[in-house]
């Protein structure tokens, strides 16, 4: 798979923007020689950036103007969704050439985004060996690391010498995904260790691999891609061997692929925590209707959820009529509760992603967030009680202070355990987005508020 895409510097972004503004009218006017002159100085990464930000109709036109080697490098940098969109505008021969030049894991990712008829046609155009490698990866569940690993891995045996292993590496230089980390296997291809290129070069040529290898960290092909990627990143590994259920070597995950997976998962989580689906392409090249589709479902769900707040207000309408000043503090209280819940949910969701917290820690998380919420509520409640009491009288001040205490405690507790409940139900914790938690906490916060008001004010 292509190296992890590093964003350009600010000065380079300005250059790219200038190029885009210049070539758009030239592409429309057929001034292709001028377009080629403008994009020639750009690197493959910058060219990919230019391509992504052009209107969809102009992307295939620009892509055809690129030299073959450069076009392949640019295509490899694009995300699977962007590759899929570009392919729709290319000729069959062009598509087949590009597809055959991809690594097996890149081909598997792209096939997931293509219509079934086109995917089948592309597969039949591969050689037997290419097709076997690709279909093997497609046999693993979506979202598993089995679909993202590279099967093109160089391995060695524990009984081999350093010289034998270096000779094997030299023979596989053309097709190996990485040569810097070499899994060590036994006669049944079970992973028994790992050795780095640095260790091999530093060792005596007659040294036996079993004597110089290190303990191997591995991941199952059926593990989630995100979990495997985080293991690779957190342990600072250059590559992570991927094995089957009997610990037999299947492939390898490189650190640049792991970074790419984490970047994608973080962007998906960020979008869902904001109550929408990820776009899958650059914002400026995303059609407005797609922006609407990515947001409308969650907005409808949250709008329906907000009717709970309306129902609570209608139930306590008589209370509001007796003490109308209570209505002034509704935005303050539900806003504080929502913010407290969102903070707790974001903290715990991040902890889950980093592997710091697991579903078995639910009770510990509940107690910690309850304590944190109680402490925050005490501080905010004291401030709120003093300020409102000085203006509206002690009873109202006491009501606001106690409500802030209760709302912060409840909101932090709910926000903390919801991601863990989602994880236990095998649902993405980010699906329990911040707006969802806010809607839930709004309703419970109002109930608590009016019950405390009735008790303190005797209404």
Asked whether the predicted pLDDT for residue 285 surpasses 70, the reply is no
pLDDT at 357: 87
Nearest-CA neighbor of 208 among 169, 249, 154, 157?
157
pLDDT at 86: 82
- For residue 22, tell me if it sits in a domain: yes
- 176 plus 294 within the same structural domain: no
pLDDT at 390: 92
- For residue 279, tell me if it sits in a domain: no
- 263 plus 291 within the same structural domain: no
pLDDT at 387: 93
- 293 plus 440 within the same structural domain: yes
- 418 plus 343 within the same structural domain: yes
pLDDT, average across residues 32-50: 86
Give the count of beta carbons closer than 10 Å to the beta carbon of residue 56.
14
* Of the listed ranges 313-327, 335-349, 384-398, the one predicted with least confidence: 313-327
Asked whether the predicted pLDDT for residue 4 surpasses 60, the reply is no
Across 205-235, b (16+ Cβ under 10 Å) vs e yields eebbbeebbeebebbbbebbbbbbbbbbbee
- 177 plus 99 within the same structural domain: no
How many helices, marked H, and strands, marked E, lie in the chain?
21, 6
Asked which of 116, 140, 164 is the last residue of a domain, the reply is 140
In 7-138, where do the E strands start and end?
none
Note the pLDDT tens digit of each residue in 80-121: 778 887 887 777 777 777 788 888 888 888 887 777 777 887
* Of the listed ranges 152-161, 196-205, 279-288, 411-420, the one predicted with least confidence: 279-288
Asked whether the predicted pLDDT for residue 11 surpasses 60, the reply is no
Give the tokens for residue 307. 């009717």
- 198 plus 105 within the same structural domain: no
What's the CATH number where 193 sits? 3.10.580.10
- 110 plus 210 within the same structural domain: no
* Of the listed ranges 72-81, 205-214, 296-305, 402-411, the one predicted with least confidence: 296-305
- 40 plus 126 within the same structural domain: yes
- 300 plus 433 within the same structural domain: yes
What's the CATH number where 128 sits? 1.25.60.10
Identify the band that residue 316 occupies on the pLDDT scale cut at 50, 70 and 90: confident
pLDDT at 12: 44
- 379 plus 424 within the same structural domain: yes
Nearest-CA neighbor of 70 among 49, 44, 95?
44
Contact 406, 448 (CB under 8 A): yes
* Of the listed ranges 19-23, 61-65, 84-88, 220-224, the one predicted with least confidence: 84-88
Asked whether the predicted pLDDT for residue 385 surpasses 50, the reply is yes
Asked which of 140, 171, 193 is the last residue of a domain, the reply is 140
* Domains in the chain, number: 3
pLDDT at 244: 92
pLDDT at 281: 61
Identify the band that residue 432 occupies on the pLDDT scale cut at 50, 70 and 90: low
Contact 209, 195 (CB under 8 A): yes
Q: How far is 352 from 391, CA to CA, in rounded Å?
A: 44
Asked whether the predicted pLDDT for residue 289 surpasses 80, the reply is no
Contact 255, 237 (CB under 8 A): yes
Asked whether the predicted pLDDT for residue 428 surpasses 80, the reply is no
- For residue 147, tell me if it sits in a domain: no
Identify the band that residue 166 occupies on the pLDDT scale cut at 50, 70 and 90: very high
Give the tokens for residue 459. 């209404």
pLDDT at 155: 92
- For residue 135, tell me if it sits in a domain: yes
Nearest-CA neighbor of 414 among 372, 382, 351?
372
- Prediction pTM value: 0.61
Phi, psi of 378 (to 5 degrees): -65, -45
- 251 plus 382 within the same structural domain: no
- For residue 431, tell me if it sits in a domain: yes
What's the CATH number where 383 sits? 1.10.357.20
State whether residue 398 is helix, strand or coil. Answer: helix
Q: How far is 441 from 378, CA to CA, in rounded Å?
A: 18
Note the pLDDT tens digit of each residue in 167-194: 999 888 877 888 899 999 999 999 999 9
DSSP summary character for residue 248: B
- For residue 148, tell me if it sits in a domain: no
Q: How far is 40 from 271, CA to CA, in rounded Å?
A: 35
Residue-averaged pLDDT of the chain: 83
DSSP summary character for residue 459: -
pLDDT, average across residues 269-287: 61
Asked whether the predicted pLDDT for residue 2 surpasses 50, the reply is no
DSSP summary character for residue 2: P
CA distances from 441 to 306, 340, 417 (A): 10, 9, 13
Percent of the chain with pLDDT strictly greater than 70: 90
Q: Which of 78-92, 383-397, 420-434 has the highest mean pLDDT?
A: 383-397
- For residue 366, tell me if it sits in a domain: yes
- 437 plus 315 within the same structural domain: yes
- For residue 327, tell me if it sits in a domain: yes
pLDDT at 279: 57
pLDDT at 105: 83
For strand 181-185 and strand 156-157, is the pairing parallel, antiparallel, or unpaired? parallel
Identify the band that residue 3 occupies on the pLDDT scale cut at 50, 70 and 90: very low
Give the tokens for residue 336. 């504080």
Nearest-CA neighbor of 349 among 237, 223, 218, 226?
226
Asked which of 269, 304, 321 is the last residue of a domain, the reply is 269
Q: How far is 111 from 106, CA to CA, in rounded Å?
A: 9
| Angle between helical axes of 394-424 and 330-354 (0-180°, round to 10) | 30
Contacts of 236 (CB under 8 A, 6+ apart): none
End-to-end CA distance of the chain: 68
Give the tokens for residue 241. 């061997």
Identify the band that residue 7 occupies on the pLDDT scale cut at 50, 70 and 90: very low
- Residue 204 structural domain: 156-269
Order of strands across the sheet that contains 191-196: 156-157, 181-185, 191-196
């Amino acid at each position: 798979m292509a190296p992890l895409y590093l964003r350009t510097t600010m000065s380079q972004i300005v250059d790219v923007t200038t190029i885009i503004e210049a070539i758009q009218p030239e592409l429309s006017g057929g001034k292709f020689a001028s377009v080629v002159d403008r994009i020639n100085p750009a690197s493959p990464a910058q060219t990919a950036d230019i391509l992504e930000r052009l209107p969809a109709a102009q992307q295939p036109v620009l892509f055809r103007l690129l030299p073959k080697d450069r076009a392949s490098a640019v295509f490899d940098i694009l995300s699977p969704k962007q590759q899929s969109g570009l392919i729709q505008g290319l000729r069959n021969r062009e598509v087949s050439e590009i597809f055959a030049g991809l690594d097996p894991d890149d081909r598997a990712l792209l096939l997931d985004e293509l219509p079934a008829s086109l995917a089948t046609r592309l597969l039949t155009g591969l050689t037997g060996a290419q097709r076997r490698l690709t279909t093997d990866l497609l046999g693993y569940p979506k979202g598993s690391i089995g679909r993202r690993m590279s099967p093109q891995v160089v391995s060695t045996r524990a009984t081999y010498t350093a010289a034998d292993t270096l000779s094997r590496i030299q023979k596989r230089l053309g097709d190996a995904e990485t040569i810097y980390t070499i899994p060590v296997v036994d006669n049944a291809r079970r992973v028994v260790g790992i050795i780095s290129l640095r260790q091999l070069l530093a060792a005596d040529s007659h040294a036996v691999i079993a004597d110089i290898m290190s303990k191997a960290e591995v991941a199952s092909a059926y593990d989630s891609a995100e979990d495997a990627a985080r293991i690779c990143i957190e342990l600072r590994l250059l590559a992570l061997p991927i094995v089957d259920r009997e610990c037999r070597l299947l492939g390898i995950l490189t650190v640049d692929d792991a970074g790419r997976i984490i970047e994608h998962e973080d962007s998906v989580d960020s979008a869902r925590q904001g109550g929408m689906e990820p776009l899958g392409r650059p914002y400026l090249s995303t059609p407005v209707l797609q922006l609407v589709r990515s947001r409308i479902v969650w907005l409808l769900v949250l709008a329906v959820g907000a009717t709970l707040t309306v129902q609570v207000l209608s139930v306590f309408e008589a209370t509001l009529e007796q003490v109308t000043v209570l209505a002034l503090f509704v935005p303050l209280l539900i806003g504080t509760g929502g913010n407290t819940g969102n903070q707790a949910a974001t903290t715990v969701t991040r902890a889950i992603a980093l592997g710091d917290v697991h579903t078995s820690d639910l009770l510990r998380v509940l107690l910690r967030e309850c304590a944190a919420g109680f402490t925050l509520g005490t501080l905010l409640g004291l401030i709120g009680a003093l300020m409102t009491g000085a203006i509206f009288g002690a009873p109202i001040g006491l009501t606001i202070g106690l409500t802030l205490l209760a709302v912060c405690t409840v909101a932090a507790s709910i926000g903390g355990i919801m991601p863990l409940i989602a994880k236990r139900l095998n649902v993405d914790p980010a699906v329990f987005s911040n707006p969802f938690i806010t809607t839930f906490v709004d309703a419970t916060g109002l109930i608590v508020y009016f019950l405390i008001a009735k008790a303190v004010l005797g209404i």
